[in-house]
Structure 1
Amino acid sequence: MSRIAKSVGLAMTVVSAVGLTACGSSGGKGVAADAKQTITVWAMGEEGARLQSVTKEFTKEHPNITVKVTPVGWDVVHQKLVAAAAAGKLPDMAQMGSTMMGEFISLDALEPVDTDTFKKDDFFPAAWNGNVQDGKVYGVPWYADTRALYYRTDLADTAGVTKAPTTWKEQSDLAAAYQSKAGADWGTALQPGSTGAWQGWLQYLYSAGGELLGKDGKPALDSPEAVKAFTEFGHYFDAGLAKKNFVPGEDVLKGFASGKTPMFQSGPWMVQNITDQAPQLKGKWKVVPVPADKTSTSWVGGASLVTFKDSDHKAAAEEFTKFLSTPKMQAHWYGIAKSLPANKAAWNEPALKSGGESLSAFKQSLDTAEAVPPMAKWNEFAAQIESALEKIARGADPAATAKQLQKSTEGLVG
């Protein structure tokens, strides 16, 4: 059994896989990059299926390396990775979601990245920083996503608003005008609680100048900036601009297309969804960077490429990671999967340069976005935020709720 597996197994016996500690790599140099070999890669869902076609191009350049890709559903990947770690059967490499990094760093399951080979300045800062802990880098950004504001321009015109909202006040005023002058049921779609609600709030925190963790590594969720962000979030519900009841799986695009909810915040995939599923809206909507308080600052999600410490094929895995992270290949991957490149130079490739206003909005967002810090207990930390958001959406005092949240999260980091 590998050292990682021993540590995972022990921790699962005591509590759970979250927050485990492990003790070092498998040791040894492993197989040289120029030896004939097969590397195993886990990638998520449709991306896993698409990645297999890209490996053929890699094999042309490296005929000695066979790449075996296993698609794994996003809904089961965490469970499968933890089980594989416990059994000592992790693949050589994996695509890893941004909010999963902290847990697997804490497991000591990831091989640190060679920063002479992969350069920080080649990538958007937030995409890179989400993989850094204690000065070490554990993943190479593959693609990035961030949140921006989608709004119906035709209904904004009806409401007498002719410019995109760029501040919190302008966003709030547009939401109110949609209701009072354009016949919308709700001014904006905003999830009041439950799993994932943090994704609609974090950009408020960052735009107010706040942070999830302070420089001391402790939660900073009762700071004046955090209270301001909670207050701004809550006012949409207090004013009746967003509905308080949340229905899991509700299709935000349906309300957007009907005009019942003509504004929402989401990621870049919604551009294609609107184009494909609501073609009647062509020319009637836009996506712009999130409106600003102190700044317009969204957050970065997406996925990175990681190599596991117990792999005997680290050199070949590094070659495949280099291949996937080049500007040319990241632009090619955008053409295949519509995933935004994390490598800044990829945005100078023709496929990205001709992307129009929507891509430009996300590029602006990526330039200024902040990372989600890697935390071993991120899921528990996020759940506490979501509980606080639900209370605030139902009328709880933001300052008092923030103080309670600070206490409830202090034991989740360290």
Structure 2
Amino acid sequence: MTVTLSGCASDDGGGDVTLRLVAADYGTGAENTSKKYWDDVAVKFEKANPGIDVDVSVYSWKDVDREVAEMVKAGKAPDIAQIGAFADYAQADKLYTADEMIAIRTGSNFLPSLTYAGEVDGKLYGLPFVASTRLLFYNKGLFDKAGLGAPQTRDDIRSDAAALKKSGVTYPFALPLGQEESQAETLMWLLSGGGGYTDEVGNYDIDSPANVATFQWLQNDLVGKGLTGPVAPKELDRAKAFDAFTKGEVGMLNGHPTLMQEAEKKGIEVGMVPLPGIDGPTKGSMGVADWMMGFKQNGHRVEIGKFLDFAYKDENVLAFADQYDLLPVTSSASLAMEADSRHEPLHEFLAALPNSQLYPFGKTSWAQVSESIKEKIGSAVEPGASPESVLVQIASQARQAESAE
């Protein structure tokens, strides 16, 4: 197979192929938008692969999964998507398998736990793109001013937040349950209460007693006591919460490595601990992986594979991880990061990745369930709401979606 042969299906009829890449934006604004990274990779790839052009579109995390879903539904799927879920597209036979696209050396270099998470029915469809683990971040300056130590339990969170409020902190505990990434915030809290999205055998268990108790605690002990700041959690997106943290307006929040970098640039001294649980630190952390996938619709299998092999070179993987303080998904890049003292602040996150708890990515229903969580979970902590009723509603939709797989 050659580029020219596959190029017969190109839109311009000139023998060249244009790959359409849709990706998520990890940046916080125009200065560090991911569009710059992908444009740079595209230029280098095009130079090394004459006859293949790459058209890059970048959307916010709030919009990117929905944008791709609408493209696919309209019969205008991108060639490559870098988004949050893949299993529903794999189940619908819209994606190439890894074996159909990438070189063996590329596929065998992914971290094993992430490879497993990217499989549907034993075949790898979702190529891990970047990963992170999550910790509780706190503003050391605000904590010192209030005479506080690092929180270890939920009781500590509540009492520390009350002390921070008394000392005039705008957001004692920022709780972003808006639609941007509330499925992540939710899972962190569920794990801290001994629950999660699924049970021991992998079935959805979103309305378990442990999960209900966790959200009752959030509603009563944080939101109900006025400890989450002036913006209701349902209206607070992660980006707004992170921005407030970098401005010194937040005492505590759940964060990932990118926030550490941005806060330190603004002179915020950051403390980090595992998310406190009921009796002590949460055992194990939440891990997040985002995914690359190749769509079949335009028939550009060979060209997609060439681009993905290029994108997963160590220099590109590490460049993206460096820019956003995230974790590489390949063994070779992970080893390079471990050996580099410049990345010492990330070593704690990196060590937690192999045993972290990820979303149930392999479920074809996960994209739908994730959207349901984003839309509804913020209402679970509103004054007068019933956390149990909201979780039961989400769980019912999840089980219905799962039964349709």
TM class by shorter-chain length? 0.7 to 0.9
Secondary structure of 1:251's partner? Answer: helix
1:174 aligns with 2:160: yes
1:219 aligns with 2:185: no
Does the 8 Å contact 2:139/2:271 carry over to 1? Answer: yes
CA-to-aligned-CA distance 1:122-176 (integer Å, 9 cap, x gap): 3272x444432222221211212343322111222233334x3344444344323
Does the 8 Å contact 2:135/2:255 carry over to 1? Answer: yes
Does the 8 Å contact 1:148/1:361 carry over to 2? Answer: no
Aligned to 1:42: 21
**Distance in 2 (alpha carbons) for counterparts of 1:57 and 1:171:** 48
Aligned partner (choices 316, 333, 336) of residue 346 of structure 1: 333
Runs of 5+ consecutive residues of structure 1 not aligned to the other structure: 1-28
Aligned to 2:226: 240
**Distance in 2 (alpha carbons) for counterparts of 1:241 and 1:76:** 29
Aligned to 2:252: 263
Does the 8 Å contact 1:33/1:315 carry over to 2? Answer: no
Does the 8 Å contact 2:360/2:366 carry over to 1? Answer: no
Does the 8 Å contact 1:179/1:187 carry over to 2? Answer: yes
Aligned to 2:141: 154
Secondary structure of 2:210's partner? Answer: helix
* Stretch moving more, 313-322 or 190-199: 190-199
C-alpha distance 42-254 of structure 1, shift in aligned 2 (>3 A):
closer
Aligned partner (choices 291, 295, 303) of residue 316 of structure 1: 303
Corresponding residue pairs, total: 375
Q: CA deviation at 1:194?
A: 5.3
Q: CA deviation at 1:267?
A: 3.0
1:101 aligns with 2:90: no
1:81 aligns with 2:65: no
C-alpha distance 248-325 of structure 1, shift in aligned 2 (>3 A):
same
State the AA in 2 paired with 1:299: G
Aligned partner (choices 292, 295, 298) of residue 305 of structure 1: 292
**Distance in 1 (alpha carbons) for counterparts of 2:75 and 2:378:** 39
Secondary structure of 1:291's partner? Answer: coil
Q: CA deviation at 1:399?
A: 4.6
1:139 aligns with 2:129: no
C-alpha distance 213-135 of structure 1, shift in aligned 2 (>3 A):
farther
C-alpha distance 307-221 of structure 1, shift in aligned 2 (>3 A):
same
State the AA in 2 paired with 1:139: G
Secondary structure of 1:211's partner? Answer: coil
Aligned to 1:12: none
Aligned to 1:10: none
Secondary structure of 1:43's partner? Answer: strand
Does the 8 Å contact 1:33/1:316 carry over to 2? Answer: no
The two structures, once aligned, show a CA RMSD in angstroms of 3.7
**Distance in 1 (alpha carbons) for counterparts of 2:122 and 2:332:** 24
CA-to-aligned-CA distance 1:30-79 (integer Å, 9 cap, x gap): 8699999635141335434422322444456x545634132232366446
Secondary structure of 2:138's partner? Answer: strand
Secondary structure of 1:262's partner? Answer: strand
Does the 8 Å contact 1:124/1:366 carry over to 2? Answer: no
Aligned to 2:173: 188
C-alpha distance 42-58 of structure 1, shift in aligned 2 (>3 A):
closer
State the AA in 1 paired with 2:399: E
CA-to-aligned-CA distance 1:72-99 (integer Å, 9 cap, x gap): 323664465345435544343232x12x
Secondary structure of 2:172's partner? Answer: coil
Q: CA deviation at 1:285?
A: 2.3
* Stretch moving more, 378-387 or 218-227: 378-387
C-alpha distance 192-311 of structure 1, shift in aligned 2 (>3 A):
closer
TM-score by length of 1: 0.74
**Distance in 1 (alpha carbons) for counterparts of 2:284 and 2:98:** 31
Does the 8 Å contact 2:325/2:346 carry over to 1? Answer: no
**Distance in 1 (alpha carbons) for counterparts of 2:5 and 2:191:** 42
**Distance in 2 (alpha carbons) for counterparts of 1:207 and 1:238:** 19
C-alpha distance 146-309 of structure 1, shift in aligned 2 (>3 A):
same
State the AA in 2 paired with 1:297: S
CA-to-aligned-CA distance 1:251-304 (integer Å, 9 cap, x gap): 33564356543111233332333244x33x3xx323444335551421304x32
Q: CA deviation at 1:404?
A: 4.6
C-alpha distance 358-178 of structure 1, shift in aligned 2 (>3 A):
farther
C-alpha distance 209-105 of structure 1, shift in aligned 2 (>3 A):
farther
Aligned to 2:28: none
Q: CA deviation at 1:314?
A: 1.7
Q: CA deviation at 1:204?
A: 1.8
Aligned to 1:70: 56
